[in-house]
Structure 1
Amino acid sequence: MKGKYTIIFIPPDQSTTRQFQFSKLGKRYLGAGILFIGLIITGMFARTLYLSHYISHLQPTIDHITQLESTIEERDEKISILNEKSTQITEDLKRITDLEEKLSIILPLQPSSSSTSLSRGISPHAPNFILVNPLVQTPDQNAQIVADHLVLLQRYYEAAIVQKDQLEHTPSLLPVNGEITSPHGYRRNPFGGWSKEFHNGIDIACDYGTPVLATADGVVTFAGKNSIFGLRVDIDHSQGITTFYGHNSRLLVKEGDLVKKGDVIAYSGNSGRSTGSHLHYGTIVNERNVDPLTFTEVTKEI
């Protein structure tokens, strides 16, 4: 057994022992293996210490990065909300513009260089419609102001629609241009004598065949011959208002026709009880005869 090394393992229970023999060369290999394993364990231990120290050193940076990521998420949410509010403001401003255009058609107002009530507090030259008022800076307040203006403008528009409809159904113009030769009220009988009669309208001098205009929107309730007014047209303008046009030479409408203010409904003439070519124009309000000039800015010319 010269040149050999023996390792004997004796179990504690006195059972069969085990022995291993190896040569000097094997001893060297075994020592090298043990050394190699020791080096590996030492290296792993050193690496673990290094990583632990490195992570401990980087922890504040990692925490800062985590905080930044959280902040970025919160800002992304805020940006998303701001984008939604910006979109809503843009849509509201577009609706405001549309309503302003409709109002400009209904109400022929002259443009003003100063800001209107609908744009007060907002600079037309400021990007993203930033408010000039320094006390109002938050997007929520900006959006609320635009929404409030939109509601107000919508109310104006609805009121203007009602007002326009009322104006269109109000006989505010005269059916023909000409001198008012006989006003509304009592007058001397034009057919001679000194007797007086009640004149239930006004007489407007005009050439034979002059176009006669409807003085307001309405429905034709009568179009035909009358013993006194000859060829006559009656128009119901609703709201208890009716106008009638007499002594025409030709009628262009019939009962049931819808007419608009300014439509030609007849041509003037001298039909019926008349002393010459003219138009008799009368107005009835709630079944009561009134002076047609009540609805116009025209003064009586006798």
Structure 2
Amino acid sequence: MLKKKTAVLFVEPDGTSTTRLQVPTMLLTHWKKLLISLLAVLAIGILSTIYIVRQRTSEQYIQVYDKKIDELKQQNRQLEQDEFNSQLTTEEMKKSFHSIDSTLERINQKMRKRGLKEIKMKNMGGPVEQGEDDLVELSNFYKKQLKHLEAKLDGMPLGVPHPGRITSPFGYRRNPFTNRGREMHSGVDLKGRIGDPVKATAKGKVTFAGYKGAYGYVVMVKHNNGYETRYAHLTRTRVKKGEAVEAGEIVGLLGNTGRSTGPHLHYEVVINNRKVNPVKYFYF
């Protein structure tokens, strides 16, 4: 179709011919369709270019937005983590203070067993100025101190082994059998009835339980911190050598055995092999 051509003559305004040009006949007969097609192609090209530009711009915006969203998500995760850590710290503080309260309650139970007053925290209160980290450290400090105090109280012979009144104190006294001369009384005598329970005044280990000369039936208990307690003139013992005992546990029954003038408990406190006045440990 392109081989068939038509001559086109370009004429000057004065009528003279200047240029003769041959063009395919199809262009002359279908020039409107070709022009429309060309305009359509141009329009498609322009629209495609606009779309591509917009698409790229949109992708850039999306990338920027995605980056911003990721940053916000990261910040949100950090805030959630900080809040979680804060909650953990608060829970740790609560557990620490609860542990302190529990330890103090155990100490007070042991004090009550000894017939002593409870330990109470006084003159406390006011706003808390420390940060959470400081409070945790403070809580740990008090927890260690209370455990140390509890261990000391466990091995310290506090309170009375029997509620009877003192009939013979610690120190020098007249000989109760001859009523003449003086002798050293190395403990205190507590009046009671035969069969009354006699309780250990501290946690420890039984080193002797049986009959021993002037003591009669006696129980000897070794405690921490160099302490030892002795419960003499018993009618019978309730523990055996090597047995572990707790404060307030019955170790024997009050009696009148050995060098005794009547039913009573002879009670001794020994520290580092030196006998001391038990009355000093009756009240805290």
TM-score (norm 2): 0.77
Cα deviation 1:193-233 (Å, max 9, x = unaligned): 32110000000111111100000000000001011010000
TM-score (norm 1): 0.73
CA distance in 2, matches of 1:50, 1:287: 104
CA distance in 1, matches of 2:29, 2:231: 134
Quickly say closer, same or farther: Cα 1:121–1:65, change in 2 above 3 A: farther
Q: Which amino acid aligns with 1:34?
A: L
Quickly say closer, same or farther: Cα 1:38–1:20, change in 2 above 3 A: closer
Q: Partner residue of 1:32?
A: 32
> Does residue 1:291 correspond to 2:283, yes or no?
no
Cα RMSD over matched residues? Answer: 3.4
Shift in Å at residue 114 of structure 1?
A: 7.3
Shift in Å at residue 63 of structure 1?
A: 7.7
CA distance in 2, matches of 1:212, 1:30: 131
Quickly say closer, same or farther: Cα 1:183–1:113, change in 2 above 3 A: closer
Q: Partner residue of 1:6?
A: 5
Shift in Å at residue 100 of structure 1?
A: 2.0
Shift in Å at residue 184 of structure 1?
A: 0.6
SS in 1 for 2:80: helix
Quickly say closer, same or farther: Cα 1:181–1:92, change in 2 above 3 A: same
> Does residue 1:249 correspond to 2:217, yes or no?
no
> Does residue 1:271 correspond to 2:257, yes or no?
yes
Q: Partner residue of 1:193?
A: 179
Quickly say closer, same or farther: Cα 1:36–1:64, change in 2 above 3 A: closer
State how 1:64-143 maps to structure 2 within 5 Å. Answer: 69-108=66-105, 120-121=128-129
Quickly say closer, same or farther: Cα 1:63–1:148, change in 2 above 3 A: farther
> Does residue 1:174 correspond to 2:173, yes or no?
no
CA distance in 1, matches of 2:124, 2:61: 52
Q: Which amino acid aligns with 1:35?
A: L
Quickly say closer, same or farther: Cα 1:170–1:21, change in 2 above 3 A: closer
CA distance in 2, matches of 1:31, 1:67: 49
Q: Which amino acid aligns with 1:170?
A: M
Cα deviation 1:10-58 (Å, max 9, x = unaligned): xxxxxxxxx9975xxx456532342123212331355367669x95xx9
> Which stretch of structure 1 is more off in the superposition, 288-297 or 271-280?
288-297
Moved over 4 A (4+): 19-22, 26-29, 48-52, 61-69, 109-117
Q: Percent identity?
A: 28
Q: Select 1:259's aligned residue among 245, 252, 260.
A: 245
Q: Which amino acid aligns with 2:167?
A: T
Cα deviation 1:109-151 (Å, max 9, x = unaligned): 669997578xx259xxxxxxxxxxxxxxxxxxxxxx3233222
Tell me how many residue pairs correspond in the alignment. 255
SS in 2 for 1:207: coil
Q: Partner residue of 1:13?
A: none
Quickly say closer, same or farther: Cα 1:29–1:259, change in 2 above 3 A: farther
Q: Partner residue of 1:132?
A: none
Q: Select 2:195's aligned residue among 206, 209, 226.
A: 209
Q: Partner residue of 2:116?
A: none
Quickly say closer, same or farther: Cα 1:225–1:110, change in 2 above 3 A: closer
CA distance in 1, matches of 2:210, 2:126: 51
Quickly say closer, same or farther: Cα 1:99–1:21, change in 2 above 3 A: closer
SS in 1 for 2:240: coil
